[in-house]
Chain A
Amino acid sequence: MIREWTSFFVAVFSLIYIYELSLFASGAKDSALALMRNPGIIAFNVLALLFTLYHASTWFYLIGKVQPIKLGKTTSKPWQALLLNIVLLLIISYAVIQIFIVR
């Protein structure tokens, strides 16, 4: 049941970020940045990140359970899907940082 409740954080972060985008679009960039520096919002974001990562892990495990892959005589285990997808998550996150922030 915890997994289902983590979707609350996914949804609320998305709504807060849409509001931030609206401030960006209307030219109120300073207000948008001040909102993200609000201690309450930062605390929420830390919680949202933890719950989103938990949500992602359970999602990856579920994929391995629902759709195991057959390789010859062996069938993949859910923990293998979890591990593989966590590695993929790290690669994608690193690529996003490299493309949009570092470069």
Chain B
Amino acid sequence: MPKVARLHAILWGVFSMGGFIAAFLLPVLIYLVGIAYPLGLWPVTNEDPTSAILNHHHIGTLFLFVTVAGSLYHGIFRFQSTLTEVGLARAKRALEAIGYLIIILGILATAIYLLQYNPSFFSLP
């Protein structure tokens, strides 16, 4: 298999994994942090959900990283390829470059912010 085709297959494979993450984990995160907390709905009480999740140290930090990074990859990857299908085919290269830049910076930023919040993440529990 040519190198480019192999890379393409890997990128679509990661996209597919991100699809599973966005499908199974993102809805509950959106509900907890974006709807239940600000509107005071079940099951959120006084503590905000992000702090509650991050207080579960390793597993909470890992949950947020996997959910946000996987969803970001899936969302941006699909959205930039959709734009090329609706008449922006000429700008395909530029859209891909911008898309991958957002994905890389977004995933790095997520990792850095989570490590800043939980600096002892890599130490044993």
Q: Which residues of A contact B (CB under 8 A)?
A: 4-5, 7-15, 17-18, 20-22, 24-26, 29, 32-33, 36-37, 41-42, 44-46, 48-49, 52-53, 55-56, 59-60, 85, 88-89, 92-93, 96-97, 99-102
Q: In chain B, residues 59-98, which have Cβ atoms closer than 8 Å to a Cβ of chain A?
A: 59-60, 63-64, 68, 71-72, 74-79, 82, 85
Assess whether B78 is in contact with A4, with CB atoms less than 8 Å apart.
yes
Assess whether B85 is in contact with A92, with CB atoms less than 8 Å apart.
no
Known contacts A18-B106, A36-B34; decide if A10 and B71 are in contact (CB<8 Å). Answer: yes
Q: State the Cβ distance, A96 to closest chain B Cβ, in Å.
A: 5
Q: Which residues of B contact A (CB under 8 A)?
A: 19-20, 22-35, 37-39, 43-44, 48-54, 56, 59-60, 63-64, 68, 71-72, 74-79, 82, 85, 102, 106, 109-110, 112-114, 116-117
The main secondary structure of chain A at its interface with chain B is helix
Assess whether B43 is in contact with A101, with CB atoms less than 8 Å apart.
yes
